Amino acid sequence: MTRVVIIGGGPGGYEAALVGAQLGVEVTLVEATGMGGAAVLTDCVPSKTLIATAEVMTMIENSAELGLKIFSGEDENVASSVHVDLAALNQRVLALAKAQSDSIRAKLDRSGVRVIHGWARLDGPQAVIVEAEGTSERIEADIVLLAVGTTPRELDTAKCDGERILNWKQVYNLCELPEKLIVVGSGVTGAEFASAYDALGVDVVLISSRDQVLPGEDSDAAGVLQAVFERKGMEIYSRSRAVAARREGDEVVVSLEDGREVRGSHCLMAVGSIPNTVGIGLAEAGIELAPSGHIQVDRVSRTTARGVYAAGDCTGVFALASVAAMQGRIAMWHSLGDAVQPLELGSVSSNVFTAPEIATVGMTQKQIDASGLKVAKVTLPLAGNARAKMKGFTDGFVKLYCLPVTGIIVGGVVVAPQASELIHSISLAVAEKITVDDFSDDFTVYPSMSGSIAEAARMLHLHSHPEAENASNTQV
């Protein structure tokens, strides 16, 4: 019987364990904290649960325009008559995360995976030592999968105390809304929390190291979000780096590189992550790391040590739960001799869960510019979409990229509420190499936001003219 040992029970690890069990091998999964990993217990699932409540608040905030009023006495603003019970909200967040973790554990048990709660390290490429509750066990393995994830990066001069200077794993301990929250870092994590707490009624200050928030995303999309943040009154310190954070009584003081100081009641550090690859015997086992500490892997998740694979955030490939899970499955399929396709990142879809959301798939403008390819593009503002008007949405757009002449769709961006649900048709088009003409031949519901995606494809009918751009929405 082939013996597989997996270190880490996040999406990279547990999805691989399920494939290993399905293929009939002996699988042992070692997890130090809880099943589902950081994705389920502290990062992806909790943040999206918090954001689900924030979304309702955003809708309430915009509801006056739709003709809703709540009689609350002196104030006619609907949002100000809704009270956010953060203790109850966070309790729900943590309960939901635990339930999801439990159900993953139950699924692994049913599949026959041996789960060990403990901390693991390699003892060469073919053995793992597990420390658990004062005991130590050495497990021999034919195949090892490392799916150890990452940890929030901390500045030495801004140590998180879990009370007022927080990382994103610690925010769920808060029982009351912060009076003034300083979010340091405007990557995806910083932008999502800034958006969510703003919607929950918190006074948010965002410290952004670049000209614009979300430097890694489509710049037009990031521009929309920056404009929405500013319109809502969020204070944004652009081109500003935090160098320290300290407590002063009930306040947190964040010092910026240029000498300015920002005061708030709480501070959330969202300045990136570092891989959990230290002290687990990787170099000794012949596993090469990138200078960033990430494990180097090829497209079938192989490391430089024979029989040792790696998946997920610890590889630095694409920090998404979906990619981690796919890398883990590929590792099992490859190592166990099943049919396998190397990892294909060209059709990965991702979403930034802000208000509005930003969903992206396929080629980005940066990749197009770097490749020198001539690609036709159209950007269609959603403000003209009939459904958007009915719902009171004014911010956002659909952007499509296609190859000239053939008209094959190679990428797209949707900025809209629920963009995460709208991007799938573009993902399918990219993955299946569908042309703009074929895409526009299919019906969409009227009125619908997805109608604008079909309309954008229709506008690229003259795709031999790469300049086709920025036309206005004609859906009426």
Ligand X SMILES: Cc1cc2nc3c(=O)[nH]c(=O)nc-3n(C[C@H](O)[C@H](O)[C@H](O)COP(=O)(O)OP(=O)(O)OC[C@H]3O[C@@H](n4cnc5c(N)ncnc54)[C@H](O)[C@@H]3O)c2cc1C
Residues lying near ligand NAD in the complex (CB under 6 A): 184-190, 192, 207, 209, 215-216, 241-242, 270-273, 319-320, 350-353
The residues that bridge with 390 in the sheet, in sequence order, are none
- Least spacing, CB of residue 299 vs ligand X, in Å: 17
229's enclosing H/E stretch is helix 219-231
- Least spacing, CB of residue 384 vs ligand X, in Å: 29
The stretch among 96-104, 290-298, 318-326, 456-464 that binds ligand X (CB under 6 A) is 318-326
- Least spacing, CB of residue 74 vs ligand NAD, in Å: 39
What residues have CB less than 8 Å from 116, skipping those under 6 apart? Answer: 28, 29, 30, 31, 130, 132, 137
* Residue 175 per-residue DSSP state: S
13 binds ligand X (CB under 6 A): yes
Nearest C-alpha neighbor of 29 from the set 103, 120, 142: 120
Residue among 178 and 190 whose Cβ is closer to ligand X: 190
By a kind-dependent CB cut-off of 5 to 8 A, residue 184 interacts, out of ligand NAD, ligand X, none, with ligand NAD
By a kind-dependent CB cut-off of 5 to 8 A, residue 202 interacts, out of ligand NAD, ligand X, none, with none
Q: Judge contact between 215 and 202, C-beta under 8 A.
A: no
Alpha-carbon span 284 to 234, nearest angstrom: 49
By a kind-dependent CB cut-off of 5 to 8 A, residue 312 interacts, out of ligand NAD, ligand X, none, with ligand X
Locate 79 and state its tokens: 């949002």
By a kind-dependent CB cut-off of 5 to 8 A, residue 18 interacts, out of ligand X, ligand NAD, none, with none
- Least spacing, CB of residue 137 vs ligand X, in Å: 13
Among 4, 27, 28, 31, binds ligand X (CB under 6 A): 31
User: Helix crossing, 86-111 with 44-61: angle to 10°?
Assistant: 140
The stretch among 20-28, 141-149, 295-303, 340-348 that binds ligand X (CB under 6 A) is 141-149
Residue among 168 and 229 whose Cβ is closer to ligand X: 168
The residue behind tokens 């795709």 is: 463
44 binds ligand X (CB under 6 A): yes
296 binds ligand X (CB under 6 A): no
CA angle 409, 394, 361 (to 5 degrees): 25
Q: In what order do the strands lie in the sheet with 251-256?
A: 242-248, 251-256, 261-264
- Least spacing, CB of residue 296 vs ligand NAD, in Å: 18
38 binds ligand X (CB under 6 A): yes
Q: Per-residue b/e over 172-187, b at no fewer than 16 CB within 10 Å? A: bebeebbebbbbbbbb
By a kind-dependent CB cut-off of 5 to 8 A, residue 11 interacts, out of ligand X, ligand NAD, none, with ligand X
267 binds ligand X (CB under 6 A): no
- Beta-sheet pairing, 251-256 with 242-248: antiparallel
- Least spacing, CB of residue 33 vs ligand NAD, in Å: 18
By a kind-dependent CB cut-off of 5 to 8 A, residue 148 interacts, out of ligand X, ligand NAD, none, with ligand X
Q: Which 3 state secondary structure label does DSSP give 371?
A: helix
User: Counting Cβ atoms within 10 Å, is residue 157 exposed (0-12), middle (13-18) or buried (19+)?
Assistant: exposed
By a kind-dependent CB cut-off of 5 to 8 A, residue 190 interacts, out of ligand NAD, ligand X, none, with ligand NAD
Alpha-carbon span 60 to 295, nearest angstrom: 45
- Least spacing, CB of residue 467 vs ligand X, in Å: 35
The binding site for ligand X (CB under 6 A) comprises 7-13, 30-33, 37-39, 43-44, 47-48, 119-121, 147-150, 168, 189, 276, 280, 312-314, 319-322, 324, 353
